[in-house]
Amino acid sequence: MANNFFGKTQIPSRLANLTNLTYLNLSNAGFRGQIPIQISSLTRLVTLDLSSLSSSYLEDGDLQLENPKLKVLVKNLIELRELYLDGVNVSAHGNEWGQVLSSSLPNLQVLSLSNCYLSGPIHSSLADLHSLSVIRLDGNDLSSPVPEFLADLPSLTILSLVDCDLYGKLSENIFKVSTLETLDLTSNKLLQGSLPDFPQNNSLQTLMLTNTNLSGTLPHSIGNLKSLSALGLAFCNFVGPLPTSMGNLTQLEYVDLSSNNFTGSIPSFHMSKSLIHLDLSQNVLTGHCPGVYESWNECEAQINGFEGSFVESYSVM
């Protein structure tokens, strides 16, 4: 039933008659109004997806969790492993939604509550959800530091807290979670810190810190991120040279280091034949850009302010 349009009607309460249902996906289907309390009686649900972010039919707040509230909706769903409520107006404080989830959903693996009008901070009780693998809370006004306990979640693979008004110093431990594949903290302008020495036993594939206040130099150990395919550090306060070890990142497809104060020469990216976007503009880099392949499709090598041998730009988009 996902990605259909049901004329902005309410979710039918008679779904509660499907007592053996384990998977319910009504995402982006044009529903509006209150989420019916009857869904809480579907006690065998493993996946519940009521998200409403990408449909052109929907407006903000078309689906609400006011009566019932989140607590009532999930209190009986003890088998639930995946919860997607992106774009649903939940309007709950950090201690409320955090404690509700940790006490009611002990088996939760995926928590996706982007743009739900949640406020922070992220409650420490979420640390009790030892199976939690995916956390997406983009676009909520969390207005708090990134909790250090997130680095202790043993199964964490995706942490996405884009545009959440996060502030304070980011703990280096979050970069060292061996299971973490995606870390996206983009557009948290008050978030401070620096990149750590990266261990060799890591799984990072996507590292996005664009438009934050992170600073310092890039460690040589960034070359240990052998699985990295996307690196976004634009509009930060990084300085110094780009480590030569970056030439070892053979899986890179997307690199945006623009608008920092990087200096020196550019490391060779020629081993990364998958690279399709390279933006090093608005830095103070010198020399020439090695390893630009004709096989780069839709690639953009922006080297504004670049001294020495100039590299032809390739079209992108």
Q: Provide block-wise average pLDDT over 10 residues at a time, the chain (317 residues).
A: 57 90 91 92 97 56 81 96 96 93 97 96 96 98 97 97 98 95 99 96 96 98 96 98 92 95 83 82 79 48 46 34
Q: How far apart are CA 179 and CA 260, in angstroms?
A: 29
Q: How far apart are CA 215 and CA 169, in angstroms?
A: 11
**160 belongs to a structural domain:** no
pLDDT at position 184 = 99
**18 belongs to a structural domain:** yes
φ, ψ of residue 110 to 5 degrees: the values are: -125, 120
- State the amino acid at position 86 in one-letter form: D
Structural domain including 136 reads 1-144
What domain count does the chain have?
1
**275 belongs to a structural domain:** no
pLDDT at position 145 = 97
**In whole angstroms, what separates CA 54 from the centre of its chain?**
16
Record the pTM: 0.90
CATH of the domain at 121: 3.80.10.10
pLDDT at position 307 = 44
pLDDT at position 312 = 38
**166 belongs to a structural domain:** no
**246 belongs to a structural domain:** no
pLDDT at position 293 = 46
**72 belongs to a structural domain:** yes
**54 belongs to a structural domain:** yes
pLDDT at position 28 = 86
**168 belongs to a structural domain:** no
* 177-202 pLDDT tens trace: 999 999 999 999 999 999 999 999 89
